[in-house]
Structure 1
Amino acid sequence: MRPDFAAPSHPDPIAESSIWAAELKLGFTQRGDKTVLARREHRGPLTVQRPFYPEGGVCHVYLLHPPGGVVAGDQLSITAAVDTTAQALITTPAAGKFYRSEGCEARQTVNLKVSENASLEWLPQETIVYQGARLNSSMHIELAVHGRFIGWEILALGRPAAGEGFDNGTATLNWHISRAGRLFYLERLRLDAEAFQARWGLFGHSACGTLFVYPATPVQLAAVQELIGDEANRGVTLIEGLLICRGLDLRADLLKGFFEEVWGLVRGDVVGREVCAPRIWAT
């Protein structure tokens, strides 16, 4: 769930002096009939393109990470705050890439804050975790009582199209979701070679993902259940108004397509708008 441009599929070993530490802070505010990117600070190679407005007042922002991938020791930090009544959508222009490591972790921390009657959609393209990579990713989401959030995380372990599995490496994923200052959802998932192959884990599926929707009701739960039907490796549940949808697949693009369908079912009720896919997804 991180941004970058295309990068060589077989990067040379990275010297310690090449390790990147990057930080990005964004703040969205409602002005008149549209949301504007009112605050933007960055340190290191992490920035955004100018905002887009393909659907009127919602501010669409694309995260950019020019180095082209994340290697051992890199640390990325992204913070985004959406002020009262503002509406923002954040995505990436391409898949993220975490490269193999000789032992050090690459870390990514994302902190998202959604104020009263504001909405934030966190919809990055998939993250490719190369065989031998060591990723530690943390998502912290702070919601006001009437804050609205839709977000997903899609991982592709290895590169099956290139004949690469996930025989070694780790991906540790942490989600912390609080509402009105109270932690109400905590999840930690650790994926390694055993989990990749095991029947209790991914069972050889290279793509896995989770989608969160808040606030949700049994109406949205029933709609997603109907969408899933008898399809294998898909699931959805509702916990304290938080809709949690999960999926496994052999291809990350198919899993993303499923999540986009779920997004289409719930966005009108949660954000109050019909789906408007970012243009960058079509390129």
Structure 2
Amino acid sequence: MLADLKEAGCASVAGNSAQGWEAKLELGFAQRHGKTVLAHRRHYGPLTVQRPFYPEGGVCHVYILHPPGGIVAGDHLSLEIDAEADSHALITTPAAGKFYRSAGGLARQDVSITVAEGAALEWLPQETIVYEGARLRSTVKVELASKARFIGWEILSLGRPACGERFDEGLADLDWQVYCRDRPLLLERLKLDARAFSARWGLQGCSACGTLFAYPAGAETLAAVQQLIGDAKGRGVTRMDDLLVCRALDCRSDRLRAFFERVWAVMRPDCVRREACAPRIWAT
């Protein structure tokens, strides 16, 4: 998720206007002279990117910025990302995101990702903090060509347990759609409310949950992630055809994200043919 975090401690946050920010960002990546460049960029409203970084040669690292510092009821953020043939881009955010509490209105975020033949795209935003009482609707749609490569994750922190805040009211409505050559690999809708937060069949009171997707992933990668998980509770991985799906629950979002970073490092050589090279911003 995409709101930049300016850490506000445990203060209560107002701002539930029915008329929120409308923001749209279009990014197009292309291979030029041995490296991937940000060939197309267009934005409307408070959503933009920093200049690209190249910590691993030709792979383009981009940080998405949302200057308001958080998302409130009535806001609608829209991203369209296109990776042309043979390009490779890694997209993240400079800090965690925030969805603030709502008086009843809905905040929306839509992400559309298209990855062409021979291209690789990594969608790795830092975790999203969903305040108690927030109401959000998020959709991520990924369209892959037959030889495209993709890694993506979504990490949520429901409530703010360090402040004693649970998730006894609110809604996180999450929709992931992954297609390859117009054939659905995964269609998933997840609705997290107070009941799902507390229930034994849901999050069991765990404040942090996340899902990681990787395509294509071989049997050896599945085995490597299974070995990494071992007997750890709240961790799981499966493989459907060539799509690997890893899920995790935890009482701390930082610990969950650290786990996903280890999974990403294990699977990256197989999935996108690159050794792990973490964005510098993750270490700050």
Interval of TM-score (by shorter of Structure 1 and Structure 2): over 0.9
Percent of aligned positions with the same letter in both sequences? 62
Q: CA deviation at 1:240?
A: 1.6
Q: CA deviation at 1:84?
A: 0.2
- 1:136-215 correspondence to structure 2 within 5 Å: 136-215=137-216
Query: Do 1:5 and 1:66's aligned partners in 2 also have CA atoms closer than 8 Å?
Result: no
Q: Which residue of 2 aligns with 1:115?
A: 116
Q: How many residues align?
A: 282
Q: Which residue of 2 aligns with 1:45?
A: 46
Counterpart check, 1:264 vs 2:265? yes
What amino acid does structure 2 have at the position aligned with 1:5?
Answer: L
Name the TM-score, length of structure 2 as normaliser.
0.97
- 1:1-283 correspondence to structure 2 within 5 Å: 1-6=1-6, 8=8, 9-17=11-19, 19-283=20-284
Q: Deviations over 1:131-173 (max 9, x none)?
A: 0000110000000000000010000000000110000001011
- The Cα RMSD (Å) is 1.0
For residues 171 and 98 of structure 2, what CA distance do their matches in structure 1 show? 14
Q: CA deviation at 1:3?
A: 3.3
Q: CA deviation at 1:12?
A: 3.0
For residues 116 and 127 of structure 1, what CA distance do their matches in structure 2 show? 31
Gap regions ≥5 residues in structure 1: none
Query: Do 2:173 and 2:189's aligned partners in 1 also have CA atoms closer than 8 Å?
Result: yes
- Which SS does the other structure have where 2:254 is aligned? helix
Query: Do 1:7 and 1:68's aligned partners in 2 also have CA atoms closer than 8 Å?
Result: no
What amino acid does structure 1 have at the position aligned with 2:6?
Answer: A
270-279 or 65-74: which moved more? 270-279
Q: CA deviation at 1:185?
A: 1.2
Name the TM-score, length of structure 1 as normaliser.
0.98
Gap regions ≥5 residues in structure 2: none
- Which SS does the other structure have where 1:224 is aligned? helix
For residues 84 and 181 of structure 1, what CA distance do their matches in structure 2 show? 17
For residues 241 and 10 of structure 1, what CA distance do their matches in structure 2 show? 44
What amino acid does structure 2 have at the position aligned with 1:256?
Answer: R
- Which SS does the other structure have where 2:220 is aligned? helix
Q: CA deviation at 1:7?
A: 5.4
Q: CA deviation at 1:277?
A: 0.6
Q: CA deviation at 1:4?
A: 1.2
Q: CA deviation at 1:16?
A: 3.7
181-190 or 245-254: which moved more? 181-190
For residues 11 and 249 of structure 1, what CA distance do their matches in structure 2 show? 25
Q: Deviations over 1:191-246 (max 9, x none)?
A: 00011011100001000000000001111111111111100000000002100000
For residues 185 and 24 of structure 1, what CA distance do their matches in structure 2 show? 25
8-17 or 45-54: which moved more? 8-17
What amino acid does structure 1 have at the position aligned with 2:257?
Answer: K
For residues 98 and 226 of structure 2, what CA distance do their matches in structure 1 show? 32
For residues 75 and 268 of structure 2, what CA distance do their matches in structure 1 show? 34
- Which SS does the other structure have where 1:174 is aligned? strand
For residues 270 and 198 of structure 1, what CA distance do their matches in structure 2 show? 35
- Which SS does the other structure have where 1:161 is aligned? helix
